[in-house]
Amino acid sequence: MRMIFARCLTLSLLLASVPSAQAANPTAVPKVQGEVKVDGRLDEPLWQQASRFELQYETEPGENTPASVKTTVYIGENGSHLLVAFVAEDPDPTKIRAFLRDRDSAWDDDFVGMNLDTFDDQRRSYEFYVNPLGAQMDVIYEEANGDEDPSWDGLWDAAGQIGEHGYVVEIAVPFSTIRFKSGGDVQQWAADFVRFRPREHRYRMSNNIMDRNNRCYLCGVGKLRGFAGVQTGNNLEIAPTVTTRFSQERPGPGASFHSSGLRIDPGVDVKWSPSPNLTLNATVNPDFSQVEADSAQLSVNNTFALFYPEKRPFFLEGADYFTTPNKVVYTRNVTDPDIGLRVTSRNGQQTYGVFIARDTVTNLLIPGLRGSDLQQYDFASTDAALRYRYDFAGNSSVGVIATERRGGDYSNSLQGVDGRWQHGNHSFEGQYLSTRTRDPGQAGIQGDAYSADYSYHSRDWNFEFGRNRFDDGFRADLGFIGQVGYQQDLGSLQRNWYGSQEAVLKQIHVTANWKSDRALDGTLLEIKRELELGFSGPLQSTVELGHTERDRQWNGLRFPEKINRFYGEFKPMSGVSFSLFARHGNRTDLANSRLAKLTAIEPTITLNLGRSLTLAVDHNREQLSRDGGNVYVANLTDLRLSWQFSLRQRLRLAWVRSDVLFDPSLYSHPVPKRLRSISSQLIYSYKVNPRTALYAGYADGYFGDESQPLFQADRTLFLKLAYAFER
C-alpha cells in the first residue's frame, strides 16, 4: 500500500510544472497514449499526460469554504474510454469508512466521483462514484425534479486502494456506455467532481462552488472540453437468460406439499443503440421475477394499496423517460409479460420514450374516494406507453403522455399534456389528463384530472402551493393513482438557517404544511396542519420534531387527530448507523369509525462487522388502543444479513416476520385474534457486471392464525443465469 501513494506523490511532483486546469475554464481533456490497468495504482505513463486539478471547495456542510483535505483529480481520454483518477489524501487513514459493498450500496462510505452532463444542456447527467475499495455506484440525475435514479447500471471499470496517506481510485468509462452529441468535432461537457468524507459531519468537496440560491445544480458546474473524434459505437448487447425454478405449496399444516414441477424459462434481452441519440430494447420470454425481496410494510388501518418500487431490469432502464408530475406509468402493473419492446431517444431539445409489452394476466388498481382495491383478470392484455417532451428556455419544457391497456372486453386509455416553467428561484408545473375505461359487464367510464404547482426555492426560504383534482371516473390503470373523486389544495413554507464552521448545528429548518381534501360535491375529507422543526449536527445527525393536526371526516363523523412525532438519525462511528421514528397521539380507527390512541415506534440499525459482513434490522411496532383495550398491536421485523465475499460475490439473507394481534370485542364485525407470517430468502450472487450474473437461492413462507399454528405454506429453489454479449 505504501508504494501506491509514493507513486502518486511522485506523479504530482512530475506534474507540478503543468498549469492547474482549475485556473482555466473549461478544463482541457487531453488524448493520452498508452494502456491503463484499472487497479487503483497510478503507475502507468499515460497519467503523466493527463490534466490535473484539485477539489478546492467544501460545499457541505461548509458553504464554499476551503477544503480541509487535499484531493487531486487526473483526467484524460484514449479514444475509447474516459479515464479519471482521484488521489484522496487523509491525515488519518484509519478513519476512512470503506467496506466491501454490492453495487449502489456504498453511500455511507467515503467515496469520490463525477457528475457528467454530456450534452451540456443542464437537463440530465450521469453520476459515477467509487468507494476506497472499488465498490461502484451509478445513477441518472434529472435536473427538473432533482431526482437521482439508481436503477441505471452502466458498464464501466473502477478500482480503489487504501494507503498510508489516504486512498486512490481509478475509473475508466467506455464511451459506448454514455450518450453524447454525435460528430467528430471538439465537444464541451458540464462536469462536477466530488469527494464525500463522512466523519463528525458528512463533508462534501468539489472543484465547483455551489450557489445555494441557484436551484439549478447543473447550471453552476464547470466545463470539460475535448473528445474530438470520439464515437459511442453501436453498443449492441445480447443477453440470454435461463431461470430454473422448483416451487411447492400446501393449504394447511396437515396437508402435503404439491408442485407443478420443475420450471425452466429461457429468455433473451437485446439492447442496441444505432446512434448516440437512440436506444432500442427488446425482450422475449423474459424472467421478470425480481431477485431481491421487497421491504416490509404494515397495511393495517390503511384503506389504500401500498406502493412498492420497480426492481425488474427491463423496466428500470430508461424509466426516467416516462416521468410526469403524476405517476401515470407504474410498470409493476405489468405482472408477467412474455414479450416487450422499448425505444428511447434524445435528440437536441426533444426526448421521447415508447414501450409495449404483452402481459399474460391483467392486474388493476381500482381507485376510490376513501380507498383502493386490487383486481385481477385471467385474460392477457397489451400494455403500452408513449412519452414525448420538448425542452426550451433553460429548465422549461412541455410534454405529452399516453398509455393504453387492452385485453378481452377490457380497455383503458389515458392521454395527457404537461408543462414546466422555471426562471431563477421560481417554477411552475402543471398537467392535464383524460381517461376512458371499459370494464367487462360495466358501462363506459371516463374521467379527467389536473394538477398545478408553484414553488419558490432559495437559500433561506422555500415556498410552495398547488392543487390536484381527480374526477370520480378517472382511472390510470397503467399508473399508480389510488384516490379519485376529490380535490386537494396544499401549501408549505420553510425557513432555513445555516451554521458557521464552528457551530455545533450545521443546519436548522422550520416548516409549516397545510393540506385540504374535499370530495367533488364539497364534502370535507380532511384538513391537515403540520409544523416541523429539524436540524443537523454532530455524529452525522439529523433530528426532526413534528406536530400534526388533522380534521378527518369518516363515515359521516368528524375525528380530530393530533399526532406528535420524532425522527432521529445518527452515524456515531464507521459502519454503524441508527435511526428512530416515533409517533404518539390520536388516530382514527378506520375499521370501527372510532377515535383511538396511536403509539408507534420504528427503530432501524445497520452494523458493518468487518469489511464484508453487514446486518440491517428494521422493526416497526404499532399499537392502536381505545376503551381499555387494543384494537390491534402489530409488530413487523425486517432483517437483512449480507456477506460480501468480494466486489463480485455476495450471500444475502432476508427474513421478514409479521405478527398482528386483534381484540375482537372492539370490532363491530368478525376479525381473527391473530395473524402471523414469516418469509425468508437466501441468495448467492456472482456478478461479473450488472447484466452478466449468476443467482442461486431458496425462499419460503410461513403463515398462521388463531385457528392453526404457524406452518410452512410454500418453498422455492431457483437458479438464474444471465450473460451479456457485447460488440
Interatomic CA distance for residues 437 and 484, integer angstroms: 14
Contact 286/269 with Cβ under 8 angstroms?
Answer: yes
Q: What is the CATH number of the domain that holds 167?
A: 2.60.40.1190
Interatomic CA distance for residues 639 and 510, integer angstroms: 34
- What is the predicted pLDDT for the residue at 387? 97
Contact 603/578 with Cβ under 8 angstroms?
Answer: yes
- pLDDT > 90 in the chain, percent: 73
Q: Is 392 contained in some domain?
A: no
Interatomic CA distance for residues 158 and 136, integer angstroms: 7
Please, which pLDDT band fits residue 20 given cuts at 50, 70 and 90? Answer: very low
Closest CA to 126 of 237, 24, 221, 235: 221
pLDDT at position 548 over 60: yes
Contact 362/407 with Cβ under 8 angstroms?
Answer: yes
Mark residue 12 as left, alpha or beta (left: phi above 0; alpha: psi -120 to 50; beta: remaining). alpha
Q: What is the mean pLDDT of residues 284-291?
A: 66
Please, which pLDDT band fits residue 6 given cuts at 50, 70 and 90? Answer: very low
Number of domains in the chain: 1
Interatomic CA distance for residues 359 and 560, integer angstroms: 45
Interatomic CA distance for residues 50 and 48, integer angstroms: 6
Q: What is the mean pLDDT of residues 380-402?
A: 93
How confident is the model over 677-725, as pLDDT tens digits? 999 999 999 999 888 999 999 999 999 998 888 999 999 999 999 998 8
- What is the predicted pLDDT for the residue at 332? 86
Interatomic CA distance for residues 110 and 205, integer angstroms: 12
Interatomic CA distance for residues 433 and 709, integer angstroms: 49
- What is the predicted pLDDT for the residue at 10? 42
- What is the predicted pLDDT for the residue at 242? 93
Contact 596/631 with Cβ under 8 angstroms?
Answer: yes
Interatomic CA distance for residues 502 and 542, integer angstroms: 18
- What is the predicted pLDDT for the residue at 349? 85
- What is the predicted pLDDT for the residue at 300? 87
- What is the predicted pLDDT for the residue at 376? 87
Where do the DSSP E strands lie in 179-306?
187-198, 202-206, 222-226, 237-249, 262-275, 278-284
How confident is the model over 579-626, as pLDDT tens digits? 999 999 999 999 999 999 999 999 999 999 999 999 999 999 999 999
Mark residue 233 as left, alpha or beta (left: phi above 0; alpha: psi -120 to 50; beta: remaining). left
Contact 33/79 with Cβ under 8 angstroms?
Answer: no
Give residue for cell 454530456: 118
- What is the predicted pLDDT for the residue at 287? 63
Joined together, the cell numbers standing for residue 620 give 416497526
Q: Is 431 contained in some domain?
A: no
Q: Is 95 contained in some domain?
A: yes
Please, which pLDDT band fits residue 123 given cuts at 50, 70 and 90? Answer: confident
Closest CA to 551 of 542, 563, 560: 560
Beta bridge partners of 565: 546, 583
Q: Is 79 contained in some domain?
A: yes
- pLDDT > 70 in the chain, percent: 95
Within 10 Å of residue 549's Cβ, how many Cβ atoms?
15
pLDDT at position 16 over 70: no
H-only helix segments in 421-547: none
How confident is the model over 525-546, as pLDDT tens digits? 999 999 999 999 999 999 999 9
Q: Is 319 contained in some domain?
A: no
Interatomic CA distance for residues 487 and 450, integer angstroms: 10
Residues 6+ apart with CB under 8 A from 537: 504, 505, 506, 543
Contact 553/523 with Cβ under 8 angstroms?
Answer: yes
Q: What is the mean pLDDT of residues 406-422?
A: 94
Closest CA to 9 of 205, 168, 171: 168
Please state which of the ranges 13-17, 21-25, 303-307, 563-567 shows the lowest mean pLDDT.
13-17
DSSP secondary structure of 665-692: GG-SS---SEEEEEEEEEEEEEEEETTE
**Residue 590 DSSP SS3:** coil
- What is the predicted pLDDT for the residue at 176? 85
Interatomic CA distance for residues 5 and 261, integer angstroms: 58
How confident is the model over 350-366, as pLDDT tens digits? 899 999 999 998 989 99
- What is the predicted pLDDT for the residue at 289? 55
Contact 159/172 with Cβ under 8 angstroms?
Answer: no
pLDDT at position 1 over 50: no
Give residue for cell 443542464: 122
Phi, psi of 279 (to 5 degrees): -130, 130
Full 3-state SS string of 25-77: CCEEECECCCCCCCCCCCCCHHHHHCEEEECCEEEECCCCEECCCCEEEEEEE
Contact 370/303 with Cβ under 8 angstroms?
Answer: yes
pLDDT at position 17 over 90: no
Q: What is the mean pLDDT of residues 102-117?
A: 96
**Residue 23 DSSP SS3:** helix
- What is the predicted pLDDT for the residue at 209? 95
For residue 483, give the DSSP letter: B
Q: What is the largest CA-CA distance in the chain?
A: 83
Domain containing residue 167: 2-226
Helix or strand holding residue 10 (H, E)? helix 2-14
CA dist 246 → 536, 700, 718 (Å): 49, 12, 6
Interatomic CA distance for residues 351 and 322, integer angstroms: 10
Contact 497/483 with Cβ under 8 angstroms?
Answer: no
Pairing label, strands 136-142, 222-226: unpaired
Please, which pLDDT band fits residue 291 given cuts at 50, 70 and 90? Answer: low
Q: Is 155 contained in some domain?
A: yes
Interatomic CA distance for residues 519 and 525, integer angstroms: 7
- Asked if residue 150 has a cis previous peptide bond (ω within 30° of 0), the answer is no
- What is the predicted pLDDT for the residue at 301? 86
- What is the predicted pLDDT for the residue at 706? 85
pLDDT at position 551 over 70: yes
- What is the predicted pLDDT for the residue at 180? 86
Interatomic CA distance for residues 323 and 388, integer angstroms: 10
Q: Is 534 contained in some domain?
A: no
Give residue for cell 416516462: 322
Residues 6+ apart with CB under 8 A from 355: 315, 322, 340, 341, 342, 343, 384, 385
Q: Is 145 contained in some domain?
A: yes
Interatomic CA distance for residues 550 and 598, integer angstroms: 14
